[in-house]
Amino acid sequence: MSEPNLRKSPARFTIPKLTDRVWKVWRRNFDVFTKTIKVNFLPSLLEPILYLLAFGFGLGGFIPSIQGQSYIAFIAPALVAISVMNGSFFECTFASFVRMYFQKTFDAIVATPVSVEEVVAGELLWGATRATINTTIVLAVVAVFGLISSPLFLIVIPLAFFGGLMFASMAMCFTSVAPNIDFFNFPSFLFLTPMFFLCGTFFPLTSLPSAAQGVAMALPLTHVVNITRGLVSGHLEPILGLSPAVLILVSFAWIIAVTIFFFILSINLMKKRLTS
């Protein structure tokens, strides 16, 4: 036979063949989302308000200023970055797993001209969209609190999509190996929670030892925080000797490279899981 590769399990980094059918999968999730829109909006609206009240006004009252800004202004861009991460990560772990494992939605779709790769890519794009929606809500809250000082903040919305695609792709890798839904407690507590606290979110990275700063620079949330901090508050302090402008460029490049890597990897891993 002339197609020996197809007989073996797919390789890890085969570039997936995708068509515009990925949007039909995206559209399915969008249709469900609009049906339950009120329930979906509430958490993403309430969470940043609570953080700003508790940490910004509550705790912030004891902190005179941080890098020349009020504490509430310091954490506002971080809350935006965290919403990018949470929105997409939970969508492509718990929610995708439910669709794949319990609802067998993926099985139903792959019986149509839509391919497995397109189903997974559609899920990833939807995860990125959820991140964008959440981030837009958080940005609106932050704006209402008067915490936006740079007109560049609007760039955060398209950026949230790419940052969201990165976290969605990483999440999908966990989904591809998850034996059951409880498994997601591992990435939630061992990956998301440490990033939530340690990626320059609630205190400046520069207060960590330089080795720890290096570690933080290897974590995806740090790069999203760098960019939102630069674009929302306009205040970004140098990290590891990199100037703010260089730092933003490095973070952009980092996000693009890592997104491409995990986007391709997650599709291949999911294909392996779903076709064997």
Over 245-261, what HEC string results?
HHHHHHHHHHHHHHHHH
Nearer to another protein, 113 or 146 (CB): 113
Range 69-98, binding another protein (CB under 8 A):
none
Nearer to another protein, 12 or 27 (CB): 27
Are 145 and 232 in contact by the 8 Å Cβ rule? The answer is no
Range 245-274, binding another protein (CB under 8 A):
none
Nearer to another protein, 207 or 275 (CB): 275
Are 135 and 77 in contact by the 8 Å Cβ rule? The answer is no
Binding mask 207-246 for another protein (x = CB under 8 A): ----------------------------------------
Does 6 bind another protein (CB under 8 A)? Our answer is: yes
Q: Return the axis-axis angle of helices 22-35 and 116-144, rounded to nearest 10°.
A: 40
Q: In whole angstroms, what separates CA 225 from the centre of its chain?
A: 11
Range 108-127, binding another protein (CB under 8 A):
108-115
Range 138-177, binding another protein (CB under 8 A):
none
Which residues 6+ apart lie within 8 Å of 50 measured at CB? none
Give CA separation, 264 vs 36, 163, 174, 183, 198, in Å.
31, 15, 14, 22, 28
CB 44 to another protein: min, Å:
19
Please tell me what DSSP assigns to residue 202: S
Q: Report the distance separating Cα 114 and Cα 24, nearest Å.
A: 9
Please tell me what DSSP assigns to residue 11: P
Binding mask 23-62 for another protein (x = CB under 8 A): -x--xx--xx--x---------------------------
Using CB under 8 A as the binding criterion, the count of chain residues that bind another protein stands at 25
Does 1 bind another protein (CB under 8 A)? Our answer is: yes
What is the contact surface with another protein in residues (CB under 8 A)? Answer: 1, 3, 6-7, 21, 24, 27-28, 31-32, 35, 103-105, 107-115, 275-276
